[in-house]
Structure 1
Amino acid sequence: MATWNDIETAEPEFAARVRGLFDAHKHKTIATLRADGSPRISGIEAEFADGELTFGSMPGARKGADLRRDPRFALHSASVDPPEGNESAWAGDAKVAGRAVFAGPLDGDVSGDLFRTDLEEVVVIGLNPDATALVIETWTPSGGLHRVERA
């Protein structure tokens, strides 16, 4: 597992692109596991702060209950369509997967639970400069950064 700071240290340019994709839009999508093992998709906001990627869950939210029972999650940045006629200008999208670690109550005016992330995988998906192939860049703590193109 890795913290966000570990990724920024290991691959600063890649981490900056991932963070840029997540920060480009307020709302993200998180996948958690229900008690019966089936997936649950929920909207969520996330924040990069002090070397950590964190997110919250409002009181009584099912995603928070899911994460307390089974901490595995996947978080996806907002995904927008490539610009028509200029597909190579598409910034792509990003996703991370790992385990959510309860970090205490949310600070401020909003109540709920704060989770920090232990990351197992970080991915950026985009297009090559000619927009003829999908480019998948994956970072893992054990394998580092890898790039694959799929035509």
Structure 2
Amino acid sequence: MARWQDIEKDAPEFAKRVRDVFGAGKHKTLATLRGDGSPRISGSELQFEDGEVTFGMMADSLKLADVRRDPRVAVHSPSLDPPAEGEWHGDAKIAGRAVEVPPAEGAEPGSGHFRIDVTEVALTYLGGTPPDHLVIESWHDGTGWRRRTRK
């Protein structure tokens, strides 16, 4: 598995675009797995700091119990409608394993603080002038960055 800093080093322009798309809004969507294996999605905040992707959860939350039981997670960038005119920067996804880290000073007792050890990152947007095809850029642990298009 990779840390965010590994992706920044391997594919810096891609990593910057992903980070920009995640930065377009405060609330992201976090997917976790319930005890029975079914998916749960929850609103969450996420930060890129010191070469890591980090997030936190309130004490006693269901998503915190999910992640402590099964650390596999996926996070989707804020969902923003494409503008009527101009370039749409697309949407981005990060998947991997949540690794619990020590809480920041003053954190709520029992809350959870995590970094993501990344297995994959995807960025999807419209390409061409006029935009007439889908562009999928991705990074996978072990294979690196790749770009594909679809009509």
**How high is the TM-score relative to the length of structure 2?**
0.94
**Range that drifts further, 105-114 or 93-102:** 105-114
Distance, in Å, in 1 between the alignment partners of 2:35 and 2:47 is 27
| Number of the residue aligned with 2:96 | 98
Tell me by how many angstroms 1:106 deviates. Answer: 4.1
Count of residues in Structure 1 that have an aligned counterpart in Structure 2: 149
- 3-state SS of the aligned residue for 1:21? helix
| Number of the residue aligned with 1:80 | 80
Please state if 1:114 is matched with 2:109: no
Contact preservation (8 Å) 1:56, 1:106: no
| Number of the residue aligned with 2:123 | 124
Structure 1 segments, 4+ long, off by >4 Å, are none
Distance, in Å, in 1 between the alignment partners of 2:142 and 2:4 is 15
Contact preservation (8 Å) 1:106, 1:113: no
Tell me by how many angstroms 1:133 deviates. Answer: 0.9
CA deviation map 1:80-108 (0-9, x unaligned): 11122x2x610111100000001123433
Contact preservation (8 Å) 1:29, 1:78: yes
| Number of the residue aligned with 2:38 | 38
Structure 1: unaligned runs, 5 residues or longer: none
Distance, in Å, in 2 between the alignment partners of 1:135 and 1:150 is 7
Please state if 1:144 is matched with 2:139: no
Letter in 2 for 1:17: R
Distance, in Å, in 2 between the alignment partners of 1:51 and 1:107 is 20
| Number of the residue aligned with 2:87 | 89
Letter in 2 for 1:76: H
Contact preservation (8 Å) 1:29, 1:42: yes
Q: Percent identity?
A: 54
Tell me by how many angstroms 1:113 deviates. Answer: 1.1
- 3-state SS of the aligned residue for 1:89? coil
Structure 2: unaligned runs, 5 residues or longer: none
Contact preservation (8 Å) 2:121, 2:139: yes
Contact preservation (8 Å) 2:92, 2:122: yes
